[in-house]
Copies of this chain bind each other. A is one copy, B any other.
């Protein structure tokens, strides 16, 4: 019953993994062409320009993330579990190397030279993630599960930075376990003693 992914989805999938590896300037239509066995011109049929391809890709990523985070809020029992599942998602992505970095974090580092249509979408993802973390922390405070030093918005920014910084350190030092070694204590500290 599982339907074959469409060509444009395959293009986006490959492009995404190439961006995660090397950023916006780190991949070309030729790379995608080789990876999925289709001509460059055919990729241009689906996505006329590179900036457009990446803009669509980031839109898709943002929507998937929004959906995932939203369903986490519905399913996970407590705010503490929601946070745990969130970081556990990244822990496994990094440890099995399936997606060892966030696409938007990657693109954010190149912000200064990204086409506008891409840059604005990356900002949107950052705002969405910060908002989600804020709401989880807020709920945790209300349920007396968390005790925060700062306002939930600030604490959410601190947590988001920790997650992205931990991804970077894990990558820089080639040590996947470093991610959870950094983020784990950071969320543990939020809990009421």
How many A residues have CB within 8 A of the partner chain?
Answer: 44
CA distance A166 to B172 in the complex (A): 17
Q: Across the interface, do A173 and B109 meet the contact criterion of CB distance under 8 Å?
A: no
Distance of A65 from chain B, by nearest CB (Å): 14
Q: Across the interface, do A171 and B25 meet the contact criterion of CB distance under 8 Å?
A: no
Which residues of chain B are within 8 angstroms of A172 by Cβ–Cβ distance?
A: 104-105, 108, 111, 122-123, 126
Which residues of chain B are within 8 angstroms of A111 by Cβ–Cβ distance?
A: 171-172, 174
Q: Mark A10-30, 1 if CB is under 8 A from B, else 0.
A: 000000000001110110000
The stretch of A37-45, A86-94, A139-147, A180-188 in contact with B is A180-188
A150 interface hit (Cβ, 8 Å): yes
Known: A165-B163, A168-B161, A173-B127. A185 touches B108 (CB 8 A): no
Which residues of chain B are within 8 angstroms of A171 by Cβ–Cβ distance?
A: 108-109, 111-112
CA distance A104 to B168 in the complex (A): 10
Q: List 10 A-B contacts (CB under 8 A).
A: A23-B110, A25-B25, A26-B113, A101-B109, A108-B168, A149-B189, A154-B182, A161-B169, A162-B165, A164-B169
